[in-house]
Amino acid sequence: MAQKMEAIGRLVGGIAHDFNNLLTIINGYSSILQDALKDRPAQASEAEQILHAGERAAELVSKLLIFSRRKVIEPKRIFINDLVENIELMLHRLIGEDIQVRTVLKDDAGWILADQNQIEGAVINLATNARDAMPEGGVLSIDTDCISVTSGSSGLSVSLEPGLYVTLTVRDSGTGIDQATIQHIFEPFFTTKKVGKGTGLGLSSVYGAVEQHGGRIAVTSEIGKGTTFVIYLPRVEPDGASLSIPPADTPQESRRRVGGTILLVEDESGLRRMLRSALRGAGYQVWEAGHGAEAIALWGDSLDQVDLVVTDMVMPVMNGLNLAAELQRRSPNLNVLFMSGYSDEVIERHGMLRPGLSLLPKPFLPSTLVAKVHEMLDRKTGPGHFAMSAGATS
């Protein structure tokens, strides 16, 4: 099964870059069209349906990238009990009044280095499956704890390197799962639900999210006696930071209009045109290049006063990381915003962003780009805005 999953992961990574470029164009122009048709409700509604379909496609690609461990993640130190408590109220609304939610959170369960959205999404996914397994009601239990694994540890159903691990256990009192199904339960597109009732990507995305964080997930079940999922995540030391709930995903307009000059570097011409239009519409002067070498030549001719570089990661001739390294060598205070479709382009280990690197995952809407540019220019970040090795490749 591991070889099959790795093969699928490579396939997903191979198509994700181009597919996310196309989705950025489709969703971007749909959003622009919807705004332009505000005075024509019928046509605006049709544009909204195009955008809705594009967003659903983006969600499917995102789940595949999570499974294949190529989803860009932004990890921070999180106290596991805070994470469970933050989503507990949501779970009550999600699974209904006929299912009782119980939590047993050990005070010393510990901290993890994780992307909050992905781990929360994994728990919600498991809770949703548990709800479906308890059509007549039941009990959903979520427990946290910490275990120490040594070289001689036994009794675990997964293979773990020696060390401390935070455990997150999701248990239901539902109908249970037979052993034949358990053998395939984390495979993408495998589902026991009726046609049209699921994509078969829920548990595969849980598996991918856990693996990308350096963890493991185990499942045990018995027909008529419920199912238990245990997630093991490496424990880390706290750094004084606390879990903060991010704002809603809906892009917010900047409180003030920010002027400046943007160097836009993107090899996909259709996408470059759309992004250029969005940035100019927001009041920026935009210079553009189709790849890194062209951007460097342009910089040498006339762009020594650029406020921000917005660049794709994967491009012919010179990739985004090498371009940024060369430009920052010439201008140490330069801010750089990377655009990327999947994490193979920017990871060192486990798909985690390098410290200080600003990245906008594709697909995104034009308003999201503008909001991010406003934020970065408001922030006026100084030298060392992104960290990387000069010899990095895509």
- Do 199 and 91 sit in the same domain of this protein? yes
Long-range contacts of 27-35 (CB under 8 A, 24+ apart): 27/51, 27/54, 27/55, 27/58, 27/363, 27/364, 27/365, 28/271, 28/274, 28/275, 28/278, 28/363, 28/364, 28/365, 28/366, 29/274, 30/54, 31/365, 31/366, 31/367, 32/274, 32/277, 32/278, 32/366
CB atoms within 10 A of CB 225: 12
The band of 309, judged by pLDDT with boundaries at 50, 70 and 90, is very high
- Do 285 and 185 sit in the same domain of this protein? no
Mean pLDDT throughout 19-33?
A: 87
- Do 54 and 91 sit in the same domain of this protein? no
CB atoms within 10 A of CB 344: 22
User: Taking CA 231 as the corner, what is the angle to CA 225 and CA 234, rounded to the nearest 5 degrees?
Assistant: 160
CB 242 within 8 A of CB 79: yes
- Do 63 and 83 sit in the same domain of this protein? no
The band of 388, judged by pLDDT with boundaries at 50, 70 and 90, is very low
- Do 93 and 169 sit in the same domain of this protein? yes
CB atoms within 10 A of CB 246: 8
pLDDT reported for residue 376: 87
Residue 68 pLDDT > 50: yes
Q: Which residues are CB-neighbours of 279 under 8 A, at least 6 positions away?
A: 262, 264, 286, 310, 369, 370, 373
- Do 95 and 229 sit in the same domain of this protein? yes
324 in a structural domain: yes
245 in a structural domain: no
Mean pLDDT throughout 11-17?
A: 65
- Do 103 and 46 sit in the same domain of this protein? no
256 in a structural domain: no
pLDDT reported for residue 41: 86
Provide the number of structural domains found in the chain: 3
Mean pLDDT throughout 26-42?
A: 88
CB burial of 127-146 (b: ≥16 within 10 Å; e: otherwise) equals bebbbebbeeebebbbbbbe
For residues 391 and 132, the model is more confident at 132
390 in a structural domain: no
47 in a structural domain: yes
pLDDT reported for residue 257: 46
The band of 263, judged by pLDDT with boundaries at 50, 70 and 90, is very high
Last residue of a domain, one of 20, 40, 67: 67
Q: What percentage of the chain exceeds 90 in pLDDT?
A: 26
- Do 219 and 313 sit in the same domain of this protein? no
Range of the domain at 282: 261-379
296 in a structural domain: yes
Convert the pLDDT of each residue in 195-253 to its tens digit.
Answer: 445 555 678 778 888 888 888 999 999 898 999 999 999 999 887 444 433 443 444 44
- Do 328 and 191 sit in the same domain of this protein? no
Model confidence, pTM: 0.58
Q: What percentage of the chain exceeds 70 in pLDDT?
A: 74
The band of 12, judged by pLDDT with boundaries at 50, 70 and 90, is low
pLDDT reported for residue 107: 93
* Average pLDDT of the chain to the nearest whole number: 78
pLDDT reported for residue 13: 61
Q: What is the CATH number of the domain that holds 130?
A: 3.30.565.10
Residue 337 pLDDT > 60: yes
255 in a structural domain: no
Mean pLDDT throughout 324-339?
A: 86
Last residue of a domain, one of 201, 220, 236: 236
Residue 47 pLDDT > 90: no
- Do 372 and 266 sit in the same domain of this protein? yes
Last residue of a domain, one of 21, 40, 67: 67
pLDDT reported for residue 145: 95
pLDDT reported for residue 214: 86
Q: Report the first-to-last Cα separation within the chain, whole angstroms.
A: 28
For residues 385 and 248, the model is more confident at 385
Convert the pLDDT of each residue in 86-123 to its tens digit.
Answer: 888 788 888 888 899 999 999 999 999 988 888 888 89
- Do 220 and 349 sit in the same domain of this protein? no
Convert the pLDDT of each residue in 339-369 to its tens digit.
Answer: 887 655 444 443 444 545 678 888 889 999 9
Q: Return d(Cα 74, Cα 161) in angstroms, integer.
A: 23
385 in a structural domain: no
- Do 293 and 179 sit in the same domain of this protein? no
**Residue the block writes with tokens 């275990």:** 147
